[in-house]
Amino acid sequence: MTNPSTPHRMRRLRQSPAIRRLVQDTHIHVAQLIYPLFIREGQGIKKAIQSMPGQYQLSLDHLTEEILSLCELGITQVLLFGIPDNKDAIGSAACQPNGVVQKAIKLIKQIAPEMLVIADLCFCEYTSHGHCGVLTENGRDVDNDATLPLLVEQALSLAAAGVDIIAPSGMMDHMVHALRQGLDLCGYQHLPIMSYAVKFASHYYGPFREAAEGTPQFGDRRSYQMDIACGASALREAELDIQEGADLLIVKPAGHYLDIIYKVKQTYPFIPVVAYQVSGEYAAIKAATLQGWLDEQGAVMESLIAIKRSGADLIITYFAKTVASWLKEITA
């Protein structure tokens, strides 16, 4: 027998799809998804990335069709990574006016002027040693302060090519300050900085190293990326980047770092927080769904909803295209 005086019945608002939709507080929208692209020098290249099924390295000729298909799906923001033909100790290919990313930016702006182009700003894809900056004299570590002017040079070159947002990912100290100053001095006061402020030294970047061909030739990145067991430094990193002029903050990886996303958003509600669902998160979900062990749509949507629910405003994800096509089906 039901007790008519019992007021609490949680199930009242779960009875039907319509009523559940009515009370949902977390939504995934294509406008909040950023799709990463790996651009290669050369012609006729659409090279599958083994550890990221469904993702490719593209040469510029293939980029055109990719951009058109993104527009069709309603995805209007991409994050570019470049894979140059020539690497050297100082990553000079990163700063050339006809560098691979610079050419990609110009091409995208030609085919789809409304596409928002974000460029990753770092040296690991361009240096022969695979580290995120130039090395110290003994060749064993990244030289923080010597890397800063090179990052500024790379930023100015991307700005000249017409980039909409730069995303410095190297975790050098004072990187945002140096970039903001360099951009402002050269007339790019309006170019926003989306900083990888809170970036952990994660094993989940593994597949990306295949995708972007930026594996360190010795050592690892733990002298500049954050210790996974030191959550407290997240707020300090966020605070410093905001003081230095970051306009948006990236937290990376996403799925295992929801506590960090939550804290950053709660502490800085006025700054857009971008969560990066990284290559290893993609690979793990993809592997399980390809085996038939997890339902793809269910597992992917749950991973993204959890990231948004924790406080992320935007999500960088390799699932962006797949999700956009599902959302299109639902609203069709």
Strands (E), the chain: 33-40, 46-48, 56-59, 77-83, 116-121, 165-168, 194-199, 248-252, 273-277, 314-317
List b or e across 233-251, with b for residues whose CB sees 16 or more CB atoms inside 10 angstroms.
Answer: ebbebbebbbebbbbbbbb
- By CB under 6 A, the residues from 6 to 35 that bind ligand PBG are none
The verdict on 169 binding ligand PBG (CB under 6 A) reads yes
Least distance to ligand PBG, CB of residue 312, Å? 15
For tokens 């027998």, name the residue. Answer: 1
Q: Which of 33, 73, 94, 122 binds ligand PBG (CB under 6 A)?
A: 122
Q: At what angle do helices 233-244 and 175-185 cross, to 10 degrees?
A: 10
The verdict on 132 binding Zn ion (CB under 5 A) reads yes
82 SS3 class: strand
Instruction: Decide which of ligand PBG, Zn ion, none touches 147; Cβ closer than 5 to 8 Å per partner kind.
Output: none
Are 254 and 226 in contact by the 8 Å Cβ rule? The answer is no
Q: Which of 34, 39, 105, 132 binds ligand PBG (CB under 6 A)?
A: 132
13/48 with CB nearer ligand PBG: 48
Provide the mask over 179-218, with x wherever binding to ligand PBG is found by CB under 6 A and - wherever it is not.
--------------------------x--x----------
The verdict on 175 binding Zn ion (CB under 5 A) reads no
Q: Which of 60, 124, 161, 327 binds Zn ion (CB under 5 A)?
A: 124
The verdict on 122 binding Zn ion (CB under 5 A) reads yes
Name beta bridge partners: 38: 57, 81
User: Among 3, 20, 2, which Cα is nearest to 11's?
Assistant: 20
User: Among 181, 155, 177, 312, which Cα is nearest to 242's?
Assistant: 177
Segment contacting ligand PBG by CB under 6 A, of 92-100, 116-124, 133-141, 237-245: 116-124
C-alpha span between 167 and 247 (Å, rounded): 10
* Catalytic residue chosen out of the listed positions 87, 252, 265, 286: 252
- By CB under 6 A, the residues from 224 to 283 that bind ligand PBG are 278-279
The distance from CA 130 to its chain's CA centroid, rounded to whole angstroms, is 19
186/299 with CB nearer ligand PBG: 299
Are 204 and 279 in contact by the 8 Å Cβ rule? The answer is yes
CA distances from 56 to 48, 50, 210, 304 (A): 4, 9, 11, 22
Least distance to ligand PBG, CB of residue 185, Å? 25
Q: Which of 70, 105, 118, 124 binds ligand PBG (CB under 6 A)?
A: 124
Q: Which of 129, 180, 221, 265 binds ligand PBG (CB under 6 A)?
A: 221
Instruction: Decide which of ligand PBG, Zn ion, none touches 84; Cβ closer than 5 to 8 Å per partner kind.
Output: none
205/257 with CB nearer ligand PBG: 205
Instruction: Decide which of ligand PBG, Zn ion, none touches 208; Cβ closer than 5 to 8 Å per partner kind.
Output: ligand PBG
Strands (E), 162-282: 165-168, 194-199, 248-252, 273-277
Segment contacting ligand PBG by CB under 6 A, of 120-128, 154-162, 172-180, 322-330: 120-128
Angle at 269 between CA 265 and CA 274, to 5 degrees: 50
* Catalytic residue chosen out of the listed positions 47, 103, 106, 199: 199
Asked about 103 being catalytic, the answer comes back as no
Are 81 and 37 in contact by the 8 Å Cβ rule? The answer is yes
Asked about 308 being catalytic, the answer comes back as no
Binding footprint of ligand PBG, residue count (CB under 6 A): 11
Residue ranges that bind ligand PBG, judged by CB under 6 A: 120, 122, 124, 132, 169-170, 205, 208, 221, 278-279
Catalytic residues: 199, 252
